[in-house]
Amino acid sequence: MNRMPIEVDEDVKKKILAEGRDYRVCTACTGPALVPITVKPPKPNDIKIQIGDNILYVSAVQARYINRVTMSMVYEKEDVDYCPAFY
């Protein structure tokens, strides 16, 4: 199956570049979640998107359903603390 590339919004790119760390889109309580890899480490079958010196990993599961990474996917610390997907 050929799939279209996943787009990354400019504000997401700016966040990753400003923080200087890798992020991952994974599955969480309310759908796709954009979190640092310190919260949810990458897996070998993740899609890798280069953002400057950093990598945005997209889980293989989420890659089937999304075509764009947006700021609405950002999970704040409070969200992470209350979602069992991150335990």
State the Cα–Cα distance between residues 44 and 9, nearest whole angstrom.
24
How distant, in Å, are the alpha carbons of 29, 38, 78, 86 from that of 7?
23, 23, 27, 25
Residue 3, pLDDT > 70, answer no
Digit-coded pLDDT (tens) for 48-60: 999 999 999 999 9
Do the beta carbons of residue 58 and residue 8 sit within 8 Å? no
Digit-coded pLDDT (tens) for 12-50: 999 999 999 999 999 998 899 999 999 999 999 999 999
- Domains of the chain by residue range: 7-86
Residue 1, pLDDT > 50, answer no
